Structure 1
Amino acid sequence: MKEDYILFEDEQVLAVNKPSGLLSIQDRFDPLKPCGLNEFSVRGRNLLPVHRLDKETSGVLCFAQNPAAHRAISLLFEERMVEKNYLAICHGKPEIEEGQIDLALAHHLQKPGLMRVHPKGKPSQTLYKVEAQWREFCLLRVKPLTGRTHQIRVHLASIGCPIVGDLAYGGTEGLKIDDIKKSRLKTKEESSSFLISRVALHSDLLSFHYLAKDYKFMADLPEI
């Protein structure tokens, strides 16, 4: 893995800009699959995961560099003392431009590996704000207050704004040129080509306070 993916490193933490398509940690069924934990555990690093991003999600991913940092930062995540911001390109537009989604989430019994809104699930809260809109799409800034599996993806789908590329939760397979503007390109193939062919979710900021130090990591959006 290229070293230019590294956003920050000291004796306590390593923060990277994880590309889409890379697992955060080892696959329990296939530990040989490439993952961020293994890719960056080089040059004497002994990395320990404190959180994870979905495989298709890009952006800030943080690892601890020692057991003490692992315990402390993991606890910060558990106690909701870590700020996490995301950007998502979604279908449609929320009825309210800025608000909070407060819907409990549970594992989907009929679809293993997926989540669903369920009244007996775990409490889950997500803040969102519309940053931009074009045709039938919008760009949302999203801040999860809890850290449930697939939380952002399920919550946004629940308000009628599934994330582009998220086939599991109601999104289409991607975003095409024709989806956002009237194309003047010469061929049908060019105008219908994908600008984005992945889950359009990016972790652009993560911050926390540890050992009398404010850590703040930011990751630019990947190029289309």
Structure 2
Amino acid sequence: MNKRRSASAGPAPLPLRNGVAPSRVHLPPGPWVRLLDFLLERFEHVPPDILRARLARGDIVDDAGLPQTLDSPYQPLRWLWYYREVPAEAPVPFDLPVLFRDDRLVVVDKPHFLASIPGGRYLRETALTRLRAALDLPLLSPIHRLDRDTAGVLLFCADPESRGAYQTLFQSRAVRKEYEAIAPLRADLGLPLVYRSRMQARAGHFTMQETPGVANSETFIELIEVIAAAAPGPRDDACGDAKQACDAAPEGGLGRYRLRPHTGRKHQLRVHMSALGLPIRNDSFYPELQPYAGSDDFSRPLQLLARAIEFTDPYSGRPRRFESRRRLCAGGAV
């Protein structure tokens, strides 16, 4: 069951539950006699027995918090509230340290494999849900997002009235973002460089592709360190204290790159690096989508890190810079 947003919806009659906010669905005018008839049609992907069981338990309530039942009549132009359920959600075994907190901002160092916000297969194992529960901040909301596969600096707003000013910074490109990535070396590629291309979503797919036309994405890319020579070895010093042995370096070796995106297209850094023949280490999307194994291999995170975010605070006028404390490893964990 998915949420539908509307400005006319009132406050939620249900509280946070273990950091999870209630979802809602609007009831439009229609021919349904019973509420169950509408729910069966609206959520056709949900097994009917599950919908009936939720109504029987009183898990779905109206704006006044009154539980709906199997015999409830259909009453249009109102909202129903419920807690979304995700079966068999695997825990992400990494911490989510808070780098900074005041009355407006909460800045965290997100690990790989943890989604920024609830969606799809992820509900409790998300940064937003964890923080709402751990910090007792039911109104906490994201200012921007990181891909689930990407680790690093992530900003949230603790004051709903202040969120818009911070989001405007991102929308107006007044935020300077710096990433690190581990990828193959290319001796024939002149770095540093600025890479531009036109990106759009693949039809019927969640990945992105480059297409002809005016560029709508731009990234500055530079090599900052050679971390693995072409000759393979059993372990790379870049792994530091990581317990897993690193994979052997590919032919040509591995490098650490600094990436500064000027735009913020979905998967932009992954697409741009792949297009240059520098696919980011452990990327299962680019250049080719790898089949999902049914579970995450936590020993092989995508080697992409949101290293730092810098901007001028819209309230204090002071410069802000937040840096991740994580390190990338050429083969294993951060």
Give TM-score, length-normalised by structure 2: 0.56
Paired position in structure 2 for 1:208: 311
**Is 1:11–2:103 an aligned residue pair?**
yes
Paired position in structure 2 for 1:177: none
Q: Deviations over 1:47-69 (max 9, x none)?
A: 11111111111110000111232
2:270 counterpart (149, 153, 156): 153
1:170 Cα deviation (Å)? 2.7
1:96 Cα deviation (Å)? 1.2
How large is the RMSD of aligned CA atoms in angstroms? 2.5
Paired position in structure 1 for 2:123: 32
1:6 Cα deviation (Å)? 0.4
Matched residues in 2 for 1:31 and 1:221: separation? 23
Q: Deviations over 1:140-181 (max 9, x none)?
A: 0001110110000001101110000002103899xxxxxxxx
Paired position in structure 2 for 1:219: 324
1:4 Cα deviation (Å)? 6.6
Query: Residue 11 and residue 86 in structure 1: after superposition, are their counterparts in 2 closer, same or farther (change >3 A)?
Result: same
* Conservation of the 8 A alpha-carbon contact between 1:127 and 1:144: yes
* Conservation of the 8 A alpha-carbon contact between 2:94 and 2:111: no
Matched residues in 1 for 2:165 and 2:219: separation? 24
Query: Residue 11 and residue 130 in structure 1: after superposition, are their counterparts in 2 closer, same or farther (change >3 A)?
Result: same
* Conservation of the 8 A alpha-carbon contact between 2:124 and 2:130: no
Matched residues in 2 for 1:22 and 1:120: separation? 34
Matched residues in 2 for 1:86 and 1:196: separation? 21
Query: Residue 30 and residue 121 in structure 1: after superposition, are their counterparts in 2 closer, same or farther (change >3 A)?
Result: farther
Paired position in structure 2 for 1:95: 189
Matched residues in 2 for 1:195 and 1:31: separation? 16
**Is 1:170–2:287 an aligned residue pair?**
yes
Matched residues in 2 for 1:64 and 1:48: separation? 5
Structure with a larger share of its residues in strand = 1
Matched residues in 1 for 2:212 and 2:289: separation? 27
Matched residues in 2 for 1:89 and 1:24: separation? 22
SS of residue paired to 2:279: coil
What 5-or-longer segments of structure 2 have no aligned partner? Answer: 1-92, 231-252, 291-296, 328-332
**Is 1:108–2:202 an aligned residue pair?**
yes
Matched residues in 1 for 2:201 and 2:263: separation? 16
What is the letter of the counterpart of residue 163 of structure 1? I
What is the letter of the counterpart of residue 190 of structure 2? I
1:139 counterpart (250, 256, 269): 256
* Conservation of the 8 A alpha-carbon contact between 2:200 and 2:211: yes
Matched residues in 2 for 1:30 and 1:102: separation? 33
1:2 Cα deviation (Å)? 8.6
1:206 Cα deviation (Å)? 0.6
SS of residue paired to 1:103: strand
